[in-house]
Amino acid sequence: MEASAWSPVMRVSIHSNRVGRSSGIPPSLLKQIIYRGLPRIVGHLSLNDCGGPCPSTRGDRAPAFEAGNLFTSLEATWLLKKKGQEVRRCLAGRSIFLVGMMGSGKTTVGEIMSEALGYTFIDSDKYVEQTLGLDSVAQIFKQCGEKFFRDYESDALQQLSMMGNLVVATGGGAVIRPVNWEYMKQGLSVYLDVPVDALARRIAAVGTNSRPLLDFDSGDPYTKAFIGLFTLSKKRAQSYSSADVTVSLLDLAANLGVEDVSDLTPTAIATEVLVQVEKFLGGGIDSLDKRTCP
Ligand SMILES: Nc1ncnc2c1ncn2[C@@H]1O[C@H](COP(=O)(O)OP(=O)(O)OP(=O)(O)O)[C@@H](O)[C@H]1O
Ligand SMILES: O=C(O)C1=C[C@@H](O)[C@@H](O)[C@H](O)C1
């Protein structure tokens, strides 16, 4: 999944005076994360086990086995882990609930964050599937309808809210029920704000089959995804804005001088989420040396 989905790293343009402005991460490290921060891919490659075409064989990518690439990836991993350790102290066991539209990266970014924090990752859609013993959310919608799914989704969030030390990727529609916010307020909520075009491109790449609210009868995958996401995002904008922390990919890209949000790696986004969470909790953000968190 990762190897084929990430966008070409070579197209990223970096303006050194802008890098790191919002995040408090040393500019040289942040540049490397954005420019070549592909630790998960390198991890796969080092096992010689890429699921699709290896990045090293693709013309639009930096050579994956180049010593510098591995080195910078290790630095990115180190920085993420360090931030994770700092934020873990600030969180003091509170869980993080990631909210956002379908395809916003809650699962991808959440898994990376959970590893950095030493937290357990839970995907609430999967939790509901397992509770019901059904294969997919699409099947639940088809057999039992949306309301039935939403009831189980609320139950799942209630149960998860009573545990600590979790990063939870919530379902894209979890925000529409006020009671779910009561559950999520037991921890910290983070909204991943991704432009609809980028969401539609990501979802079109894998098809709309697994996402019942986008799986219309006609239209190509991008158009179906775009129309569905656009409509839902308008309806949900206010709900998403209730999150404690918002991480806007447009803002992050602008602050980093990156032209296209698709060029932001999951590691960079996960690191930014941790930085913003730390900021929300009152921790040091201007420098890695400032650690004012209790
Ligand atoms: N930063 C990124 N750059 C490019 N592709 C990404 C990025 N983050 C996630 N993706 C891809 O986008 C798709 C959706 O990601 P993911 O499953 O993490 O989103 P989600 O918010 O959990 O979605 P859903 O709510 O529908 O389950 C996946 O194919 C994933 O590989
Ligand atoms: O945005 C939504 O309403 C949904 C998102 C998915 O995560 C699933 O929870 C389901 O497909 C509904």
196 in Cβ contact with 229 (< 8 Å)? yes
**Which residues of the chain register pLDDT less than 50?**
1-23, 35-68, 284-292
Atom 14 (ligand 1): residue with closest C-alpha? 103
3-state secondary structure the chain: CHHHHCCCHHHCCCCCCCCCCCCCCCHHHHHHHHHHCCHHHHHHHHCCCCCCCCHHHCCCCCCCCCHHHHHHHHHHHHHHHHHHHHHHHHHCCCCEEEECCCCCCHHHHHHHHHHHHCCEEEEHHHHHHHHHCCCCHHHHHHHHCHHHHHHHHHHHHHHHHCCCCEEEECCCCHHHCHHHHHHHCCCEEEEEECCHHHHHHHHHHHCCCCCCCCCCCCCCHHHHHHHHHHHHHHHHHHHHCCCCEEEEHHHHHHHHCCCCHHHCCHHHHHHHHHHHHHHHCCCCCCCCCCCCCC
The string of pLDDT tens digits covering residues 38-93 is 333 332 222 222 233 323 333 333 333 334 455 567 888 888 999 999 999 999 99
Identify the pLDDT of residue 48. Answer: 23
Asked whether the whole model's pTM tops 0.90, one would answer no
Pocket of ligand 1 (CB under 6 A): 1, 5-6, 100, 102-108, 125, 169, 172, 202, 206, 211, 262, 264, 266, 269
CB distance 44 to ligand 2 below 6 Å? no
Number of the ligand 1 atom closest to the C-alpha atom of 170? 25
CB distance 213 to ligand 2 below 6 Å? yes
Please name the amino acid found at residue 75.
E
CB distance 125 to ligand 2 below 6 Å? yes
CB distance 55 to ligand 2 below 6 Å? no
CB distance 172 to ligand 2 below 6 Å? yes
Identify the pLDDT of residue 42. Answer: 31
- Record the tokens describing residue 141, joined without a space: 């919608």
Task: Output the CA 283–ligand 1 centroid distance in Å.
Answer: 28
Task: Output the CA 12–ligand 1 centroid distance in Å.
Answer: 20
Number of the ligand 2 atom closest to the C-alpha atom of 138? 11
Task: Output the CA 173–ligand 2 centroid distance in Å.
Answer: 5
Task: Output the CA 100–ligand 2 centroid distance in Å.
Answer: 10
Task: Output the CA 211–ligand 2 centroid distance in Å.
Answer: 7
37 in Cβ contact with 31 (< 8 Å)? no
Residues 6+ apart with CB under 8 A from 96: 110, 113, 117, 119, 166, 167, 168, 187, 188, 189, 190, 277
Nearest Cα residue to 207 out of 190, 227, 193, 223: 223
Atom 25 (ligand 1): residue with closest C-alpha? 102
